[in-house]
Amino acid sequence: MRMTLALIAASLIAAPAARAAGSDRPIELASLQTSAAKTGWLQVLSEGKPAKAKARAKKDINTSPIERELIAFGEKAAPGTIIIDNSERRLYHVLGNGVAMRYAVSVGKEGFLWTGSNTVSRKAEWPTWTPPEDMRARESKKGRILPVSMKGGIDNPLGARAMYLGSTIYRIHGTNQPSSIGKAMSSGCIRMANEDVEHLYANVTIGTKVIVRN
């Protein structure tokens, strides 16, 4: 009898783990999102968490909390034009025939918003970040020391892709902070989630017109 109870107890303990392993939603990551979890990824991985948890985390870093949408677009603009609406915090890539792809973006915070038009002058994959000196000085006053230059990579705030606007300091670029998407949090650049900026980047050519409006 004691042996039978032990076997039943063991099966009940194992059952949730088996269901979790077969689920499309890995529960390892959910546990990291609780207030009790204060550890970083290096510590988590050192404790032997499955590779699936790492893959899911990278996806979360790259994915926008607001999905891009193919929408009807009645405004007059040449196909290929990019229109960024600061108040909506949305970027429209005009495809023609009354259709556009709409992406959620992060725009300039108070004091850093701007409007105007320019063209895409350069494109870069996993771009190097070179913070302007005024930005470095500004952040230094807050106790945050920015690098003179940072090579591209997942920790780089420019994210996976960048499209440079004319000879200005502004870019449409990715981010490793998808929580900023849909908000006014940048220093003037237009931020997109990495998955979205890669999607736009693949469909934009040098010389593309970019309009930024309120």
**Active-site amino acid positions:** 173, 189
Contact 89, 107 (CB under 8 A): yes
Helix (H) or strand (E) holding 32, with range, is helix 27-32
∠ at Cα 194 (125, 154), nearest 5°?
70
C-alpha distance across the termini of the chain, in Å: 75
Which residues, other chains included, contact 77 with Cβ-Cβ below 8 Å and sequence gap of 6+? 83, 94, 211
